[in-house]
Amino acid sequence: MRPAPRALGRLGAHALVAAGALVMLAPFYFMFVFATQARGDIFQLPPPLFFGAELAGNFEILTTRLPFWRNLGWSLYVALASTLLTLLFCSLAGYAFALLEFRFKPALFALLMATLLLPSFMGMIPSFLVMDALGWIDQHRALYVPGAASAFGIFMVRQYALGAVPRDLIEAARLDGCGEFGIYWRIVLPLLQPVLGTLGLVTFIGSWNNFMAPLVVLRSASNYTLPLALRSLQSPVNTEWGALMLGSAIATLPLLVLYALASRRLIAGLTAGAVK
C-alpha cells in the first residue's frame, strides 16, 4: 500500500514545481505581451493574455518620449568599457595572487577580500562627492572606472588560475627571457580564457542592469543609461505603459539571449563565490 501515496506525492511535487516555474516566467511573458498593447488595453478586465498590434505605436511613443537609441547606446558603451577594463585588471591581479610570489601578498589579499564585505550603500553618498570633486558628474567614466578592478573578479580569476596555469610553464618562459608582461599576455591570458568568458558575462550583465550608480551620477536625460531612462518614463499620472513595457522588454532581451546561449556558464559564474 506504500507505493500509491508515494507516486501521488511525486506527481504533486512535479505539478507544484511546474506551477512555480510558470510563476517565475510569467512576468517575462507579460512584459512582451504588454509591449504590443496600447495603454488602454493593458488595463482591461480581463487583461490581455496574447500579443496585440500596437508594437509600432509603442515604439513611436518610446522614441519620441526618450532619446531611446542614445540611452541604449550608453548602456552598451558603459557595459563594454566596464567589461574590458574588468577583464584586464582582474586577470592581471588574479594571476599575480595565484602564481607570483611577493612580499605582503597574504595581507594584501586579506584586504582585498575584506572590501567584499562593505555594504553598497556606504559608498553611495561619499562617492557622489568624489565624482563631484573630480568633475565626473554626468560622465560615463564615473560608472565604469571605480569598479574596474572588482575584488570579486580578482578572487574568481585567482581561484581558476591556481588550477589552470602550471607554474613550470611560467618558470620556463622566464628562463627563456620572456618579460613579466609577456608571460602574462602570451601564456597566462590564453589559459585563463574560460574564467574570463564567465567573468565577462557576469560583469556585462551587472553593468547593464546597474541602477544606483547612474542614478547618483548621471544628470541629463540624453546621457541616461537604459534603466534610468525607463524610470524617467514612469510618472504618477499618465504613464505610457505600453511604451514603458516595450522599453523594459528591449532592455531585457539581450539578457535573455545571453542566458539562452550560456545559462550553465552564467549560473556557475554567479554562484562561483559559494561553490569554490
Partner 1 sequence: MNEHVNPVAAAGLPSARAAGTAGSPVPPQPVPRRRWRVSPRWAPYLFVAPFYLLFAVFGLFPLLFSLFLAFHSWEPTSGLAAMRWVGVENFAFALDDEWFWKALGNTLWLALASGLPQHLVALGLAVYLQGLRPRQRDLTSGAYFLPYITSTVAVAIMFSSLFSTDFGLVNALLGAIAGIAPIDWLGTPAGLQAAITFIVFWRFVGFNTMLYLAALQTIPAELYEAATLDGASRWRQFLHITLPGLRPMMYFGVTLSVIGGLQLFEEPFILTGGRGGTDQAGMTAAVYLYRMAFDFNDFGGASAMSWLLCGVVALLTWTTNRAFAVRRAGRA
* Interacting residues with partner 1 between 26 and 45 (CB under 8 A): 27-28, 30-31, 34, 42-45
Piece of 52-60, 64-72, 76-84, 262-270 that binds partner 1 (CB under 8 A): 262-270
How many angstroms separate the Cα of 149 from the Cα of each of 87, 122, 155, 196?
A: 8, 18, 11, 13
- Give yes or no for residue 163 binding partner 1 (CB under 8 A): no
Count of positions on this chain that bind partner 1 (CB under 8 A): 108
Cell digits of residue 193 = 580564457
* Interaction pattern, residues 211-250, with partner 1; x per rule: CB under 8 A: xx--xx---------xx--xx--xxx----x--xx-xxx-
Of 7, 124, 257, 261, which lies in the binding site for partner 1, with binding defined by CB under 8 A?
124
Give the integer Cα–Cα distance in Å for 132 and 101: 39
Indicate whether 84 belongs to the interface with partner 1 (CB under 8 A). no
Q: Is 77 in the site for partner 1 (CB under 8 A)?
A: no
* Residue in 71, 105, 87 with CA at minimum distance from that of residue 232: 71
Among 11, 20, 73, 222, binds partner 1 (CB under 8 A): 20
Site for partner 1 in 185-204 (CB under 8 A): 186-187, 190-191
Instruction: Examine residue 190 and say whether the peptide bond preceding it is cis (omega within 30 degrees of 0).
Output: no
What whole-number distance in Å separates Cα of residue 121 and Cα of residue 131?
16
Q: What are phi and psi of 210, to 5 degrees?
A: -60, 135
d(CA 82, CA 77): 8
* Closer residue to partner 1 in complex, CB, 21/53: 21
Work out which of 50, 168, 219, 220 binds partner 1, going by CB under 8 A. Answer: 168
